[in-house]
Amino acid sequence: MISLTKILPALIYPLSLACLLLVTVLLSRRWPRWGRFGVSLALVLLWVAGNHWVAKGLASSLEWRYPSLDSAPRAEAIVVLGGGTMLDEPPRPIVEISGAGDRIIYAAWLYNQGAADRIIVSGGRIPWLTNGDQSLDKPAHAMSQLLDMLGVPQDVIYPEIESLNTYDNARYSKQILDRLGIDRILLVTSAIHMPRAVRLFEAQDLEVIPAPVDYSTSVSDLKLSGISWQNFLLRLVPDAGDLSLTTSAIKEYLGILYYHLTGWE
């Protein structure tokens, strides 16, 4: 069964909410005044959520909470959260990385810098996204393959294949870490996801060194001064990429709130 915690938040993301407003307008022909209001509200919602500065501002409020590492501090293990891979299903010739694939590359770099002697790759496959196909590999297996391609020995990689969300990432990784006698980790995930992940891993009584990567914002993204008028105007126009980034930031804030209310952190 599809979890309501996945469905309900999706209904209040900007694009979904705008669509719901427009559907409501179509079903409320008896109230033309409400129709105009609903269409206007949907337009404003999409315009604001797709705005460059709104998207970058929301994302940076999460991404900049933990600074990027200047060097590779020593820990007992590197824990990499899934979400950056695409399986080698036809027509792909090999396992590939998605936009969040920087996680795997960065983990391999940290290992090669001597930051830790073991890598735990955490990520199971959500059943309702694969129609229950048990033959498909888990994201943790795909990450293991990619780390192998990057020169990381397979005997130092520990796949965690049971997790379906970030809370599961933390508790199932903790079980592996306990077996290895490890309580100090470098946590690798996308910068926008790091605040939520750190809370959950620290709640497992782990010493966490955040190692964020896959940034979607930079200092120049938020500058108002020094940009050309053409660039300024372009940033006022709603953009699909910015709409997606706003949605990702909202998802993270909702996740933080949910885990706080449920006492999981």
Stronger pLDDT, 101 or 227, i.e. the higher one: 101
What is the pLDDT, as a whole number, of residue 64?
96
CB 236 within 8 A of CB 50: no
Structure tokens at 40: 């206007």
Per-residue pLDDT at 59 exceeds 70: yes
Q: Is the pLDDT score of 134 beyond 70?
A: no
Given a cut of 70, whether residue 250 has pLDDT beyond it is yes
Q: Provide the token pair at 217.
A: 């914002």
Q: What is the full DSSP assignment across 161-209?
A: ---SSHHHHHHHHHHHHHHHT--EEEEEEEGGGHHHHHHHHHTTT-EEE
In this structure, is the dihedral angle defined by the CA atoms of residues 193, 194, 196 and 201, taken in order, positive or negative? positive
Confidence at residue 138, expressed as pLDDT on a 0 to 100 scale: 84
Q: What mean pLDDT do residues 27-54 have?
A: 88
| Mean pLDDT value of segment 237-250 | 96
The mean pLDDT of 195-209, rounded to a whole number, is: 97
pLDDT of residue 33: 74
Statement: residue 210 has pLDDT above 90: yes
Residue 127 has pLDDT above 80, yes or no: no
In percent, how much of the chain has pLDDT > 70?
Answer: 91
What pLDDT score does 152 carry? 97
Going through the chain in order, the beta strands assigned E by DSSP cover 77-81, 85-86, 96-97, 119-122, 157-160, 184-190, 207-213
**pLDDT in the model for residue 2:** 46
pLDDT of residue 5: 60
pLDDT by residue (tens digit) across 71-104? 889 999 999 999 888 877 788 888 888 889 999 9
Mean of per-residue pLDDT scores for the chain: 89
Report pLDDT for 26. 85
What pLDDT is stored for residue 1 in this prediction? 39
Residues 6+ apart with CB under 8 A from 262: none
Tell me the average pLDDT across 117-146: 78
- Report pLDDT digits (tens) over 140-163: 999 999 999 999 999 999 999 999
